[in-house]
Amino acid sequence: MIDAPDLSLAALAPLLFVFGAACIGVLVEAFAPREVRHPVQVAVALVGTGGGLAATIVYAATHEWGGGAGSVTAAGALAVDRAGLFLQATVAGLAVLAVLLFAERSLDPARSAFVASAAVPAGSPRDRDQLTATRVQTEVYPLALFAVGGMMLFVTANDLLIMFVALEVLSLPLYLISGLARRRRLLSQEAAVKYFLLGAFASAFFLYGLALVYGATGSVRLGEIRQSLAANDGDVLVVLGLALLVVGLLFKASVAPFHSWTPDVYQGAPTPVTAFMAACTKVAAFGAILRLLYVGFGTEEWTWRPLVYGVAIVSMVVGAVLGLTQTDLKRMLAYSSIAHAGFLLTGVLGLGADGEGSGLAATMFYLLTYGLTTIGAFAVLTLVRDGDGEAGHLSQWAGLASRSPLTAAVMGLFLLALAGIPLTAGFTGKFAVFRAAIEQGAWPLVLVAVLASAVAAFFYLRVIVLMYFSPPAADGPTVGVPGVPTTVVLAVTATATLALGILPGAVLDLAEQAARFVG
């Protein structure tokens, strides 16, 4: 007789909402007539992600902040705790913004950033036909919803196996939608294949690590692994397993030296997808890293601390230095993302020996600010266009401020935030993670981080200098008039970037309260 596992539907509601919407999306794709498919899909996706966000908030308010202390449900597979809910809400909220970017129809003459029929060989006569046709592809919405669901599962996974499943659920749709760009299709397809191959490689690392840890501790539950490690001295198997698990996760978080896919994929993927990946995947991957290290290997802190220390330095330096010579804005933002991954790892180190320390809160706050800012920055990239689609080359942005002051101002704000200039969200986030790291005595790391920030500031500010102080190019790009969805995204992200820079108190407090894992 097998007992039915305990399932708390309330705790699972956010996940169910998103996955349910994804399934409905598949059905819509199959049965809804072509004319109405796009609006219906957008509505389903927005309801799915927005509903996921709402469900998370409602559950958090009624259970966790209503006196609960976190619960482990679904036979111990899921840990629905404050930190998990905060990260779920972050993922869902950023996903709403990303879906809005997907739904933008007024910028591209062909009414969408996605190719109508991805199976048509690039460059063939049929491909040329569909470049001008206004047929819109809508499979991206359910795919994105599955990815969002996977991410939300990822950050609450209390079990290495569930974590692996979630990793795949979030990754596979991303591989696909990376290859769906309407323009520069070969680049996009190449990016998708690269991402898939390397992602598979990384998954293999993760899986192997999982097996080794199971072999050493006899469990895949994070809590049980922790107990087992506390009881016995860690042996070689555990250390190797930890290393491989971490490699798998660092790949998703695009941390150097596991970053090499990032620039190519960020550049090749359709820009809304890049925004989605840069923001949501980062949150999910760091959520998993935090949970794995803090919960599963919290007692082995002195094992992984030097590892994170070193990787953080490599990532910051590689991101900042390589970003210097980029001439394509999307690639530049990709290297920026690598550098930011290093800054985030600085916050991960802010775990005290007694399990206290503000590292968790700081890292979660940073994830939120970085996600908002980076989605905003990519949204601006979709506006500046020439005949071939988006004008991503730096030289094309020269003198943009004289042509379109508002666009330049908004982009300037996001770049300042990415550089970590005070009065923007980026500064508050950096300050929080650096303080958390210094509290744990990691000041040499923070020193490197500050130097890397200074180097990285160069390439952010260079764009501002180009926009404001260079004469506009004669055949420069045009700045598209964004439709409602992109306008909403820009307004929300710009406002949040400023608000979290000037009055971050409430959100910092929330992150502080949310900094609690269970299990």
- Catalog residues that contact another protein under the rule CB under 8 A: 193-194, 197-198, 201-202, 205, 234, 236, 239-240, 242-244, 246-247, 251, 257-258, 260-261, 263-264, 303-304, 306-307, 310-311, 318, 321-325, 455, 458
* In the complex, least distance from residue 244 CB atom to another protein, rounded to whole angstroms: 7
How near is the Cβ of 201 to another protein at its closest, in Å? Answer: 6
Distance CA 441, CA 434 (A): 11
Distance CA 463, CA 450 (A): 20
In the bound state with another protein, the residue whose beta carbon lies nearer, of 86 and 258, is 258
Min dist CB 351 to another protein, Å, is: 17
The distance of closest approach from Cβ of residue 337 to another protein in the complex, given in angstroms and rounded to an integer, is: 14
CA distance 57 to 49: 12
Residue 287: DSSP 8-state = H
Task: Find the angle CA(422)-CA(424)-CA(427) to the nearest 5 degrees.
Answer: 55
Q: Which is nearer to another protein, 82 or 185 (CB)?
A: 185
Tell me the sheet residues that pair with 78. Answer: 73, 157
**CA distance readout (Å), 3 to 7, 71, 73, 273, 519:** 12, 19, 14, 42, 22
The structure tokens 């490599």 sit at 314
> What single letter denotes the amino acid at residue 396?
Q
Rounded Cα distance between 446 and 420, Å, is 14
Which is nearer to another protein, 210 or 384 (by Cβ)?
210
Nearer Cβ to another protein (276/459): 459
Q: How far is the CB of 238 from another protein (least distance, A)?
A: 9
146 or 335: whose CB is closer to another protein? 335
Q: Which of 213/361 has CB closer to another protein?
A: 213
Nearer to another protein, 435 or 462 (CB): 462
The smaller minimum CB distance to another protein, of residues 48 and 263, is found at 263
* Distance of closest approach, residue 233 Cβ to another protein, in angstroms: 9
Q: Which residue's CB is nearer to another protein, number 198 or number 494?
A: 198
- Nearest Cα to Cα of residue 338 among 422, 254, 270, 415: 254
Cα 226 to Cα 84, 86, 217, 360: the distances in Å are 18, 23, 9, 18
Rounded-to-integer distance, Cα 248 and Cα 205, Å: 6
Nearest by Cα to 10 from 92, 80, 108, 75 = 80
Is 117 strand, coil or helix? coil
> CA–CA distance from 101 to each of 26, 143, 418, 472 (Å)?
20, 15, 20, 28
3-state SS assignment for residue 114: strand
DSSP 26-64: HHHHHHS-HHHHHHHHHHHHHHHHHHHHHHHHHHIIIII
Pairing of strands 478-479, 389-390: unpaired
Closest to another protein by CB, 2 or 236 = 236
Is the CB of residue 79 less than 8 Å from the CB of residue 43?
A: no
- What is the rounded CA–CA span in Å between residue 280 and residue 95? 7
**Displacement of CA 259 from its chain's centroid (Å):** 14
Residue with smaller CB distance to another protein, 133 or 197:
197
Q: How far is the CB of 303 from another protein (least distance, A)?
A: 6
Q: Whole-number minimum distance, CB 263 to another protein, in Å?
A: 6
Min CB(340)–another protein separation in Å:
17
CB of 257 to another protein, least distance (A): 4
- For residue 450, the minimal CB distance to another protein (Å) is 15
